[in-house]
A and B are shown apart, each in its own frame.
Chain A
Amino acid sequence: MMRMAKNRLERPVTEESLDAAQLELGVDFQDAECLLISEVKVLLEAQYDSKKEEKNLDEVYTKTLEYAQKFSRYTNRDTIKEVRALLKPTELEPFECAQLGNLCCNEYEEAKSLVPSIGSKISDEDLDSLLKQMDSLKKYQS
């Protein structure tokens, strides 16, 4: 059995141990604020004019902006605020809230399948009601 030298460097956390299903996001992201794709769209669009003027449009920015515009679910800031207000009082973690806002599941089974870390943090009825409310916001947004 190999004896570890006392001054051996601690083994860094490997990428393999990070797992969204277990909500193991690593020390850098465990408590980080997660953004809805719609929020990313708002933030990136705000920078577009100044970036274009300074000829500072890099590939990562433009690809992300296009992606955010394509998959943004909510068309205006008020709707985003209301979605956030629906998600806030639940016991769900930031990652789970953002996933629900981005994926827009139709029923609780779909939500639990796509975001398995939700588990039993919220009852099926409450989750279903939450999803239906989010869907109405999306349907009736201007």
Chain B
Amino acid sequence: MFFHKKLSHTITLHPSFLGPRMREFVTKRLYKDVEGTCTGRYGYIVAVVAILDIQTGKIIPGQGSAEFVVKYSAILFKPFKNEVIDAVVEAVNPMGFFADAGPLRIFVAMKMLPTDMKLHMDSNPPSLRSDDQKIEKSTQVRIKLVGTRVDATNIYGIGTIKEDYLGVIE
């Protein structure tokens, strides 16, 4: 799910930046620090929408650098267990298939597919087929997430299409 949320970030500027273009440096540093990052708590911070407030900078005693607390709003993307999401198939292999929903990679294992779905590795491209559906690279599928996993830089989803109204989107 995509969210629009207010967040806060602290930026430390070296004294050489404390001049007439200080605010510009603060905003540029915010974009660089925060956009494109991913955490378990907030999901992916896709883009900063607006800078809401830059508090007066505080000089760090003994260092000369200044600390700024910046309040901003951003577009966040965070997947949840039991959320239904549309995705694009990236690869089909004997374990199942991988699909991407924006920056999120989702894995759907063989046992999470309808029972009548069979793997065709020798077709070009490799595909999964049943009576009424064919899944191969670039197919659009509706997936229900059954779990998520977070590592240092990304979130991974685990999904199923074994329920009603899930699977290939016409």
Contacts and interface: CB of A to CB of B under 8 A. Distances in A.
Interface of A: 15-16, 18-22, 25, 28-29, 32-37, 39-40, 43-44, 47, 56, 58-61, 63-64, 66-68, 70-71, 95, 98-99, 102-103, 105, 110, 113-116
28 contacts: A19-B80, A20-B1, A28-B41, A29-B5, A32-B5, A33-B4, A33-B5, A35-B4, A37-B2, A39-B2, A43-B75, A56-B31, A59-B103, A60-B37, A60-B44, A63-B103, A64-B47, A64-B102, A66-B102, A67-B100, A68-B102, A71-B140, A98-B1, A102-B86, A113-B163, A114-B84, A114-B142, A115-B84
A95 B1 contact: yes
Interface string B111-150: 0000000000000000000000000000010101100101
Contacts of A29: 3, 5, 78
A5 to B, nearest CB: 26
Contacts of B36: 58-61
B30 interface: no
Interface of B: 1-5, 31, 35-38, 40-42, 44-47, 49, 75-78, 80-84, 86, 88, 100-103, 140, 142, 144-145, 148, 150, 163-165
B75 A44 contact: yes
